[in-house]
Amino acid sequence: MLKRIELSGFKSFAKKTTLTFDTPITAVVGPNGSGKSNVVESIRFVLGEQSIKSMRGKGSADLIWKGSKLLAGGTKARVSIAFDNSDRKFAFSNASGASAELGFDEITLSREVTADGGSDYFINGTNVRLKDITELLGSVNIGSSGHHIISQGEADRLLSASPKDRRGMVEDALGLKVYQMRIRDAERKLEKTALNMREVQALRRELAPHLIFLGKQVEKIKMAEELRKEFAGLYHEYATLESASIRFAEHELHTEESHIKREIASIEDVVTSSTSGKYDAERGVILDEVRTAENEQSKLFREKEELGRALGRIEGKLDALTVVHEETRGVTVVPVRDVQSLCADIIATIDTTETIEELSGVRSALLSMKHKIATFTDSLKGQKAPEIDRDSIRASIDHEKQALESRMREIDVLVSAVRDHVQVAREKLAKLEQEIRDSERSSYAGVARRATLDGQLRECAIRMENLTRRKSVLAEETREAEALLGVLMHGVTDGPMSEDTNEKFAEREALHRKLERIKIKLEDAGAASGAEVLKEFEDTRDRDAFLARELVDIEASITSLRALIHELRDTIERTFKEGIEKINVQFGDFFKLMFGGGGAFLSIVVEHKARRDEDGDMIDQDSDALPFEHGIEINVNLPHKKVRDLNMLSGGERSLISIALLFAMSQVNPPPFLVLDETDAALDEANSRKYGDMLTHLSQHSKLIVVTHNRETMSRAQVLYGVTMGLEGASKLLSIKFDEAVLIAK
Ligand code: ATP
Ligand code: MG
């Protein structure tokens, strides 16, 4: 398995040095301080040893060639170890046990450290983590406890180790590290999964109230959707009824209005005809007629009066004619004008006298008047009345009288005719006036009717206004409904018109009330966008369902991980116990061989290492963890000796027991190689032989690299490497023959 090792700049190996291990046993020989143990340490190093101390250094710089007088120091140390992998044993395994083998015939592991503490690992040249190296080595039974590398002075290592460390070495030797690694992996995974589960649970917890809230929202939205549907149906019904009623009322109103207007037009004719001056001309004519007739009549009356008076005068004349005839005998006739002139004269004198103040003046005036009167009376003396022809006068007067009387008769006839005329004309006028009054009366009735009709028209206008209002309210309500439903309501107002009967009105009102109630409910349901909330609800529900599924998966994987851990622990437990039994058989044999009798065996001890919590109180032991708290005790029974305490044994005895145990372990589960640095140092000749026999025996299954000064041991090796310290202060390697080796060793 192990093919070679290559050191470069590692400790005393300043230059690149290669050791090949083609034979079962390779011995490394050389004087003290030549660098043999450095070779052993280089193997520890490349396998991932973390303790610099175990490689006799304080820091990684101590692992790098420090330099000498002749050769300058290095900056890095590198060691490579090559294994044969033609049997494909090297493999990476995962926690569940599935392994992926590495398809290379040769596997080279390398490790490099630099002075500044950097440390790199490589597998076949690829930079990897230490974990990968450990895991890969685990697959070929090379555990990290390094039980198969016994450093110088550690011949009794297995004896001096604590029971627990010993157990680690035994487990390593039994190849249980792989399982433990898997357990650790599974545990890590379990931890991660548990954390994941808690996270998922937390997420679900976080999601839960939101989901409930959204669920309620969705319920509301669905309810609102139902309401909206109901609203749409009812609104359609309502709007149809309302618009049909409005249109019917409109139609009715138009008809009524046109009736009224027609009536108004007809009244208009009557009123205008009555109020026009159609009677005026006729009335004027009749009035003229009346007036003419009346004038005629009064003229006739006046003429008749005149005639009457003239007749009177004529009567008087006739009378006077008779009287004058009787009296004019002895009577002087004095012309009137003479008398009038005398009177005027006297009056004038009196008027003048009134202004005279002196009595003499008045006396003269009176004398003048006496004179005048005397003169007048004197003039009258001797005058006589003229003689009159009375008969001719009488005759002319009678003639005149007859003429007058005839005229009087004519007038009477005329008067009677005129009176009739007046009568007729007046009657005509009265009739016309009656007619006018009648016409006016009917005109007044028309005006009154018209006022009524005007009132009705105004009422119609008000009703029309109401209808218009109802129309605009309906339009507004339709717009609102459209906004509420988010759809246009075409044609809701296109149905046939119909009369708003009482039942229909009640139905319409009931619908309206119902719509209002639904509207309030819808407004209550909120204006949340349904689609968005629905989408969010579905997303959240999906997410929750996804998380729930994930939780189920996680729980399943937790269960399977637990089962795996349990199974692995069982396997470890079983393999461990079986391994111990097998080792005990070998151990007893090797022991008897070494000591020529007696016996030795391993026993499992339960170290009840109760854990304590932070306060120092005891914590109950986790039963699952118990097997790992077990340790391994070595029991020996030396022939002829009573001493059982390992500490009381001699150094050689301790080495022998330790070697016997190591060989027993290696026998049960052979490691790919064993490195033994002067493990034989404390052995006497007889035991050296027995040791040599055991080496030969072991080399059947594992490659052995032995560092030795022992001749017997050297004789068992097929290849010998001599290590010397050259002039440059660096280790040198050379392949040598046995005899040379014996010489070198000395
Ligand atoms: P022995 O037979 O006594 O066990 P050995 O052959 O095993 O001897 P080693 O212990 O391998 O000897 O070698 C030790 C030598 O290596 C010392 O002389 C030491 O000076 C040298 N050495 C150790 N580390 C370094 C280093 N970093 N650089 C140079 N030389 C080193
Ligand atoms: Mg040494």
pLDDT at 276: 54
Residue owning the nearest CA to atom 9 of ligand 1: 35
Assess whether pLDDT exceeds 60 at residue 528: no
Q: Which of 6, 232, 230 is nearest to 110 (CA)?
A: 6
Band of the pLDDT at 623, cuts 50, 70, 90? very low
Q: How many CB atoms lie within 10 A of CB 653?
A: 21
Ligand 2 centre distance from Cα of residue 54 (Å): 13
Assess whether pLDDT exceeds 90 at residue 179: no
* CA–CA separation, 265 and 257 (whole Å): 12
Tell me the pairing of strands 91-93 and 99-101.
antiparallel
* CA–CA separation, 204 and 154 (whole Å): 58
- The stretch 371-389 carries a mean pLDDT of 76
Assess whether pLDDT exceeds 80 at residue 98: no
The answer for residues whose C-beta is within 8 angstroms of residue 379's C-beta and 6 or more apart is 338
* CA–CA separation, 680 and 156 (whole Å): 11
Q: Which pair of tokens denotes residue 25?
A: 């046993």
Assess whether pLDDT exceeds 60 at residue 610: no
Residue owning the nearest CA to atom 30 of ligand 1: 12
CA distances from 714 to 531, 633, 680 (A): 89, 33, 11
Give the least confident one: 10-14, 245-249, 316-320, 328-332: 328-332
- The stretch 379-388 carries a mean pLDDT of 67
Look up residue 346 and give its amino acid.
I
Q: Give pTM, 2 decimals.
A: 0.57
* CA–CA separation, 550 and 387 (whole Å): 183
Half-sphere exposure at residue 455, Cβ-oriented, CA atoms within 13 angstroms: 6
Using one digit for the tens of pLDDT, what is the confidence trace for 452-461?
999 999 999 9
pLDDT at 330: 60
Ligand 2 centre distance from Cα of residue 38 (Å): 7
Radius of gyration of the chain (CA): 83
Contact 670 CB / ligand 1 (< 6 Å): no
- The stretch 496-513 carries a mean pLDDT of 87
- The stretch 647-674 carries a mean pLDDT of 87
- The stretch 110-138 carries a mean pLDDT of 90
Question: Residue 713: enclosing H or E segment and its boundaries?
Answer: helix 711-716
Using one digit for the tens of pLDDT, what is the confidence trace for 570-586?
998 899 889 999 999 99
Q: Which residue has the higher pLDDT, 736 or 527?
A: 736
pLDDT at 722: 92
Assess whether pLDDT exceeds 70 at residue 609: no
Residue owning the nearest CA to atom 3 of ligand 1: 32
* CA–CA separation, 567 and 398 (whole Å): 192
Mean pLDDT of the chain: 86
Vertex 53 angle, CA 50 and 59, to 5°:
80
pLDDT at 1: 80
Q: What single string gives the DSSP state of each residue in 670-681?
A: --SEEEEESTTT
Look up residue 76 and give its amino acid.
K
Assess whether pLDDT exceeds 50 at residue 612: no
Using one digit for the tens of pLDDT, what is the confidence trace for 287-321?
898 899 899 999 999 988 998 898 888 888 888 77
Band of the pLDDT at 594, cuts 50, 70, 90? confident
* CA–CA separation, 297 and 102 (whole Å): 167
Residue owning the nearest CA to atom 5 of ligand 1: 33
Contact 36 CB / ligand 1 (< 6 Å): yes
Residue owning the nearest CA to atom 4 of ligand 1: 32
Ligand that lies nearest to the alpha carbon of residue 76, given by its number in the listed order: 1
Assess whether pLDDT exceeds 80 at residue 611: no
The answer for residues whose C-beta is within 8 angstroms of residue 421's C-beta and 6 or more apart is 293, 296
Distance in Å from the first CA to the final CA of the chain:
32
Hey, where are the domains in the chain?
Answer: 277-444
The answer for residues whose C-beta is within 8 angstroms of residue 559's C-beta and 6 or more apart is none
The residue whose CB lies within 8 Å of the most ligand 1 atoms, and thus the one to mutate among 10, 15, 34, is: 34
**How much of the chain, in percent, has pLDDT values that exceed 90?**
34
Band of the pLDDT at 328, cuts 50, 70, 90? low
Look-up of token digits 């080279």: 108
Q: Which residue has the higher pLDDT, 497 or 474?
A: 474
* CA–CA separation, 492 and 488 (whole Å): 10
Phi then psi for 208, rounded to 5 degrees?
-50, -55
The answer for residues whose C-beta is within 8 angstroms of residue 263's C-beta and 6 or more apart is 449, 453
Q: Which of 110, 109, 112, 179 is nearest to 143 (CA)?
A: 179
pLDDT at 570: 92
Contact 35 CB / ligand 1 (< 6 Å): yes
- Element counts in the chain: helices (H) and strands (E): 15, 16
Q: Torsion-angle region of residue 561: left (phi > 0), alpha (psi -120 to 50) or beta?
A: alpha
**How much of the chain, in percent, has pLDDT values that exceed 70?**
92
Residue owning the nearest CA to atom 21 of ligand 1: 12
Contact 12 CB / ligand 1 (< 6 Å): yes
Using one digit for the tens of pLDDT, what is the confidence trace for 59-68?
888 999 998 8
Assess whether pLDDT exceeds 60 at residue 618: no
Ligand 1 atom nearest the C-alpha of 35 is: 11
- The stretch 2-27 carries a mean pLDDT of 93
CA distances from 84 to 42, 87, 194, 421 (A): 19, 8, 41, 174
Contact 37 CB / ligand 1 (< 6 Å): yes
Contact 65 CB / ligand 1 (< 6 Å): yes
pLDDT at 554: 92
CA distances from 37 to 28, 43, 114 (A): 9, 10, 21
Ligand 2 centre distance from Cα of residue 681 (Å): 11
Give the least confident one: 118-132, 617-631, 659-673: 617-631
- The stretch 624-648 carries a mean pLDDT of 76
